[in-house]
Amino acid sequence: MGQFSELWLYCKETFGIVKRRPFLFVPRLVFMGLLLSSVFFVGGIAFVRLLPGRWMNVFPLGILVIGFLVGNLVVEGGQINLYKKAALGYTVGMDDFGEGVRKFVGRVFIGGLMLLLLIALMSFLMVGFVTIPLLGVLAGIALVIAIFAVNVLLSAWKAALAFKDIGVMDAFSDSWRFVREFFWPMALVVFVKGLFDGNNNNNSGSNQGNNFNINGINVNLNIPGLNMFGLNQGFSFGVRSAMALIALIPFVVAAAIISIAATVYIEQLIFVIYARRESL
């Protein structure tokens, strides 16, 4: 059987797994609901200008950013335990989520930080070529390819972490070994996942991301859902009317739900692939 035929079987199996376990979607949906509510609340305050002064405007937005980072970390830690249990055929619930938070949040944080540092280092090494016209273009292409390749090769590190209960570096090493044997199907999975969570179309340094502009203060947050249907283009809390913001709510919510559903399915697929090919 070819590797892509094998991938198709895993896709069908994963669909059955998530269909029978709707709780897999609950943590991310709850977190996104809280986040979007907070975002629209802060934006509403800015519209009616109830917060005098620049410093007062920074405070609620800063709390929002911190809450997003901490909440995302907690959800991620709990979620990987749900994926593990689901891939092994168990039913999943809040107890499994809590177990994942207790066991994996610290290692998820360290692993995510290490990945950011690795990508930053790769970008720094390419900076010297930017000023040279031809080499700058080639370096940019090489950087994009290198970052994507690293994302693919390390795409199974959370699965290794959850199934084998190992350290971050061991999980990275295990993912590298595992993905090399199934590289092109995993590359396709990572690419499709990036279409929904924004990893393939980050607009660093531009004004076309999910920018929140509150009285002149700009912050870029990559919120799943806003990258779909072009909603990230020009979406800003610098719009002139609260009614315009309210009109966007159904579209943002619908896009967020679709994005979360696709992301959870693909992440579960990675855990299924890992579990089946490792015979767990």
d(CA 223, CA 60): 17
Name the strand (E) or helix (H) holding 211. strand 211-214
User: Per residue in 10-50, pLDDT tens?
Assistant: 999 999 999 999 999 999 999 988 888 877 776 666 655 54
> Where are the domains positioned within the chain?
3-277
d(CA 163, CA 269): 14
pLDDT at 87: 97
First to last CA, the chain: 20
The answer to whether 92 touches 24, Cβ cutoff 8 Å, is yes
- Mean pLDDT over residues 114-143, rounded? 79
d(CA 9, CA 209): 36
Token pair 């943002």: residue: 252
Lowest mean pLDDT among 165-179, 196-210, 219-233: 219-233
Question: pLDDT > 70: what percent of the chain?
Answer: 72
Q: The pTM is what? A: 0.79
pLDDT at 153: 96
User: Per residue in 79-116, pLDDT tens?
Assistant: 999 999 999 999 999 999 999 999 999 999 999 999 98
d(CA 203, CA 224): 14
Number of H-type helices and E-type strands within the chain: 9, 2
Nearest CA among 20, 22, 126, 31 for reference residue 75 = 31
Distances (CA, A) of 19 to 16, 25, 182, 250, 265: 5, 10, 26, 25, 10
Helix/strand/coil for 135: helix
